[in-house]
Structure 1
Amino acid sequence: MIRICISKAATVVLVCAVIGLTMSGQMAFAQPVDQGEAALRAGNVTQARDIWEENVATGDAAAMRNLARLHYTNSIMDADLERAHTLLSDAVAQGNGDANLDLGYLYQNGIGVPQSLARAEAFYSKASQAGNLEAAFLHARLVLGRKASPIETRQALAELKATSDAGHPPAVAAVGDLFRTGTFLVKDVEKAIEYYTFAGEKGDLDALNTIGDIYAFAELGVADIEQAATWYERAAAQGNAASSYSLALVLYSDPEANDTDLARAFDYAQIAALAWNEGAQFLLGRMYLEDRATIPDPFEAYRWLDLAASANVFEAHHYRAIAGRELGPERAQQAHESAAQWFTENHATPHIHRLLSGNYHSFN
């Protein structure tokens, strides 16, 4: 049971997950599974889009919502954010109350519309009232992240607790966040780990990654890198890009790392970089410059550092300049064009960027 302790100063909690993305990075669409979703799961985004376009023409509200998600997550090259908003509004008008969840996400993050947390909160509330657990979770988080009255705060905590008790993994992890930080609840990091563990067992791989962070950041009193690596590896084995990056960084940063450790670090960094983790792209670029985990290759270094720099990794600009100096102007331009080609060919893969406003990513 959650003991409610109202804090006078609420800390802002940032929502980092993109609606419509599960923890494994695969896009989750309206049920039941249709031909469009089957095509998407098979990796054929274009076919999924074509199927949903046909269904939208018949007034299919679920198809409207799914097609809108392809647009606002930039999963198609000609993404149209204005159309995404229209499709979601039409879906709501057709009786798809869950589309309010997506509208809330657009307004919360300013995707295709002026950012408005008040409107986001209102849309999440509508979806929550229709029984959508994700909306209830996000609604509670928004209320707890703003200046709220004591009554609003108690109601939001109760909503979060009910959603957690219902087993919704992000809500369970969110309660863990409150225990971890001592926000609204009495700080109890060990209790937080219990919540994160439960959430992780239910599929929230970011929760497992957070446990790794707790051990790495000495939140139990002393840093325990071995325990941190164990949790990172557990999540990485299930496809969590953030954990793959964290594990690569831990292994690579060890001055006593042997060749096996460095090879593992390289493999994990590569996995996370290919999954669009900007930190891993930066680390992989460094690895190609430094003669430790792989044979130095300034061309590959420039490619990955170029991609990391485009995702707002500030330090990547400096390392890219170093790689460019080794390559010379002509080869550096070729590396840039290679990075641009990889960006174009792979950017439809659903992913999120931690350092970019509205998850909007362009490559020049």
Structure 2
Amino acid sequence: MDLPYMNIKHLTSAALLSFALIAPLHAAEHAKNPSSGASVALLVPKAEAGNAGAQRELADHFYDGDGVLQSYEKAAQWYAKAAEQGDAVAQFALGYMYDEGQGVTLDDARAIELYTQAAEQNHAGAQYNLALMYDVGEGVPVDDLKAIDWYWRAAEQGHADAQFNLALMYDEGEGVPVNDQKAIEWYRKAAEQGHADAQFNLALMYDMGEGVPVDDREAVRWYTAAAEQGDATAQYNLALMYDEGEGVPVNDQLAVQWYRRSAEQGDMDAQYNLALMYDEGEGVEIDDAEALNWYAFAANQGHASAQYNLAIMYDEGEGTEEDNAAAIKWYSASAEQGNRDAQYNLAVMYDEGEGMPEDNQAAIKWYTAAAQQGEPSAMFNLGIMYMNGEGMRRNQRMAYLLFSLCAAQGLPDAREARDLMGEKLSKDELTTAQRAAVEWQLDTAFPAL
């Protein structure tokens, strides 16, 4: 039987990731206002006399453990005194403590009450946190309209997270009709303040031409900004643009640099593409051991093409000792995810008994899976098994069908095998098999003939 292995390494994908990031589900932290510089000793009598500013500053000292033993409980007590006097910063800080359960029992309703008091005094952080609670339904029913209202107020004050979340709502059509232009406007405002997620999403809009004409240079600009802040997906997309020469000249060295930075953060697509660069010697010297290493990282995260390429390396002894058991393990993992080349190679190993006992049923299973995806060698070998009755009852009509399908793809010897089978069929059988070959659709089961 003709049982060639596929030793093709899948090449890098040129497709960029095309999704918007989810709104950050965290509250804006309580940021301290510049203090008067007064010591705790000077603040205590003023705070006890009812000075709201001194009460808030004293609370800050207890919150941070600055000059006193750190105590969230005492911080909450002093913030509460200042909040009762209408101090917006203290209201926000105490709201945050109820939101997080710091020094007080976690109480979303109380947090909302305090955030609202501060938000109505135009405190941007409180407006953002209040919007977030309406956005995710924390302590209140989800209310996109109220979320948008409060995001908008905070965004107009320059709150970068609010600008980003507001952009997302326009991007996704939450509480408002989808409006790519508005999304871009607010992504840009946040991006220009250094918001990495906004920079990434703005890059993606230019990359995909959503709300703006496609502009690879602008995409590169904003991917770079986000990548330099450590965004792993931006690093990956930037690497792809250098790899493919989109918006920048092709630069394999820079592609490797950005793939590596993303790969080291665990991005499996970056790990896979970095492995390919070492495998093919693009931007680096060929290094089978490094390729094997990065394929393994991606394979262990479930990357089907990395699993296939890793199996090839174990199968061929590239960068490691030949290891049939490891090859079978990774061919199987990739085959289960639908990789047709892995399905074919796994079928061959079962067919030949390499690394395992010969198993015709398993070979038929995987030849069939690959053949139904249009893999011509799998069609041919499966046809041979039908022709010879290996692991199944002999079926010359099915053999003819399979030989006919792979002959149409130009596989050597398939036409001769098809014609040989045709001579063994009756006129009616031949007509039925020919019609079935014409009517068969890729990625569907073969007819029972």
* TM-score relative to the length of structure 1: 0.54
Q: Distance in 1 between matches of 2:323 and 2:306?
A: 17
For 1:317, the equivalent position in structure 2 comes to 415
Alpha-carbon distance in structure 2 between the residues aligned to 1:328 and 1:128: 64
* 1:18-37 equivalence runs, <5 A: 19=15
Aligned residue for 1:295? 393
Deviation string 1:49-108 (CA, Å, 9 cap, x unpaired) is: xxxxxx9xxx9699xxxxxxxxxxxxxxxxxxxxxxxxxxxxxxxx9445369xxxxxxx
Give the alignment of 1:124-273 within 5 angstroms.
Answer: 135-143=237-245, 152-220=251-319, 223-254=322-353, 261-273=359-371
CA contact (8 A) 1:284 1:304 kept: yes
Structure 2 distance, partners of 1:302, 1:123, is 55
1:291 deviates by: 3.4
Q: Distance in 2 between matches of 1:278 and 1:197?
A: 29
Q: Is the 8 Å Cα contact of residues 240 and 255 (structure 2) preserved in structure 1?
A: no
In structure 2, give the amino acid aligned to 1:99: M
Provide closer, same or farther for how the CA distance between residues 132 and 18 of structure 1 changes in structure 2, counting only shifts above 3 A. same
Moved over 6 A (4+): 28-32, 59-62, 119-124
1:191 CA displacement: 2.7
TM-score of the two chains, using structure 2 as the length reference: 0.45
1:255–1:301 Cα change, 3 Å: farther
Distance 1:236 1:256, change over 3 A: closer
1:305 offset after TM fit, Å?
A: 2.9
Larger radius of gyration: 2
Q: Which amino acid aligns with 2:396?
A: P
Same amino acid, percent of matched pairs: 20
Is residue 98–residue 132 contact of structure 1 (8 Å, CA) maintained in 2?
no
CA spacing shift, 1:164–1:300, aligned 2, 3 Å? same
Give, as a single letter, the amino acid of the residue that structure 2 aligns with 1:142. E
Task: Give the conservation status (yes or no) of the 8 Å contact 1:181–1:187.
Answer: yes
Q: CA RMSD in A?
A: 4.5
Report the CA distance shift for 1:255/1:202 in structure 2 as closer, same or farther (over 3 A): closer
Give 1:205's aligned amino acid: A
Structure 1 residues 298 and 124, CA gap change in structure 2 (3 angstroms): farther
Find the aligned partners of 1:123 and 1:16 in 2 and give their Cα distance. 23
Partner in structure 1 of residue 434 of structure 2: 336
- Does the 8 Å contact 1:173/1:196 carry over to 2? yes
Aligned residues: 252
| Change in 2 beyond 3 A, CA 1:133/1:298 | farther
Of stretches 134-143 and 185-194 in structure 1, the one that deviates more from structure 2 is 134-143
Give distance in 2, aligned partners of 1:61 and 1:132.
23
Structure 1 contact 127–136 (Cα < 8 Å) conserved:
no
Q: Which runs of 5+ in 2 are unaligned?
A: 1-8, 23-172, 181-203, 227-232
Distance 1:199 1:302 in 2: 40
- Amino acid in the other structure paired with 1:237: E
Give the Å deviation of 1:121: 8.2
Per-residue Cα deviation, 1:241-286 (whole angstroms, up to 9, x for no partner): 332221101221349986x612111112122223443432332222
C-alpha distance 332-244 of structure 1, shift in aligned 2 (>3 A): same
Partner of 2:208: 99
Structure 1 residue 195, shift from structure 2 partner: 0.8
Which moves more between the two structures, 225-234 or 310-319?
310-319
Report the 3-state secondary structure (helix = DSSP H, G, I; strand = E; otherwise coil) of the residue aligned with 1:174: helix
Q: Distance in 1 between matches of 2:443 and 2:333?
A: 30
Q: Against the structure 1 CA distance between its residues 344 and 189, is the aligned structure 2 distance closer, same or farther, given a 3 Å change threshold? A: closer
Partners of 1:272 and 1:261 in 2: CA distance? 17
Asked if the contact 1:97/1:127 (under 8 Å) is kept, the reply is: no
With over 3 angstroms needed to count, the CA separation of the structure-2 counterparts of 1:319 and 1:206, relative to structure 1, is farther
CA distance in 1, matches of 2:407, 2:238: 36
Task: Tell me if the contact between 1:140 and 1:160 (Cα under 8 Å) persists in the aligned partners.
Answer: no
Shift of 1:220: 4.0
